[in-house]
């Protein structure tokens, strides 16, 4: 797709591969501090923290893709709420609803391709 992913905050993203920063000489403390203070599952995250992270990188992004899992009410609620706030900030947003199976893979691919085309046109018109 030609996408550069700047940030993922899903429960199943690359969050578990983040670099652990050093907060002192004790490696066990560093590991514990990292895992206890990182952004966890959306059910446990303050929505304002998610928004802060997105707005911190606002100048680095062209758009936001919100991936929501069917039957996970917190993700669905936050997804719609985030889209509304991002729209108010003129950040193009795509919500993808999925049931985490491969059956909708091609539909998701088509929607992302269309979103990327829209972002490209938006960028070209604003340069």
**Chain segment 17-68, per-residue pLDDT in tens:** 667 788 889 999 988 888 787 766 766 667 787 788 888 888 888 888 888 8
Range of the domain at 20: 16-45
Do 38 and 81 belong together in one domain? no
121: pLDDT strictly greater than 80? yes
Same-domain pairing of 70 and 100: yes
Conformation bin of residue 2: beta by default, left when phi > 0, alpha when psi is -120 to 50: left
Distance between CA 12 and CA 77 in Å, rounded? 18
Residues 25 and 52 placed together within one structural domain of the fold: no
pLDDT of residue 127: 60
pTM > 0.85: no
**Cα 119 to Cα 109: distance, rounded to the nearest angstrom:** 15
Q: Are residues 119 and 64 in the same domain?
A: yes
Per-residue confidence band for 113, with pLDDT thresholds at 50, 70 and 90: very high
Question: Are the CB atoms for 72 and 26 separated by under 8 Å?
Answer: no
91 and 56 in one domain?
yes
Same domain, 24 and 77: no
In this structure, are 33 and 51 located in the same domain? no
Tell me, yes or no, whether 7 lies in a domain: no
Domain annotation covers residue 20: yes
Q: What's the total number of domains in the chain?
A: 2
Show the beta-strand stretches assigned E in the chain.
Answer: 64-69, 93-98
Question: Which pLDDT score, from 0 to 100, does residue 12 have?
Answer: 64
* 40 and 53 inside one domain: no
Same domain, residue pair 91 and 117: yes
CATH of the domain at 114: 3.40.50.11900
């Amino acid at each position: 797709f030609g996408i550069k992913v700047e940030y993922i905050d899903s429960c199943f993203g690359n969050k578990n591969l983040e670099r652990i920063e050093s907060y002192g000489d004790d490696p066990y403390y560093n590991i514990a501090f990292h895992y206890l203070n990182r952004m966890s599952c959306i059910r446990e995250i303050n929505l304002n923290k998610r928004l802060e992270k997105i707005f911190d990188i606002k100048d680095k992004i062209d758009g936001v893709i919100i991936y929501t899992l069917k039957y996970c009410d917190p993700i669905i609620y936050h997804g719609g709420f985030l889209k509304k706030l991002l729209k108010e900030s003129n950040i193009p947003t795509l919500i993808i609803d999925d049931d985490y199976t491969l059956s909708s893979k091609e539909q998701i691919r088509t929607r992302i391709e269309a979103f990327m085309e829209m972002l490209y046109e938006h960028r070209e018109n604003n340069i």
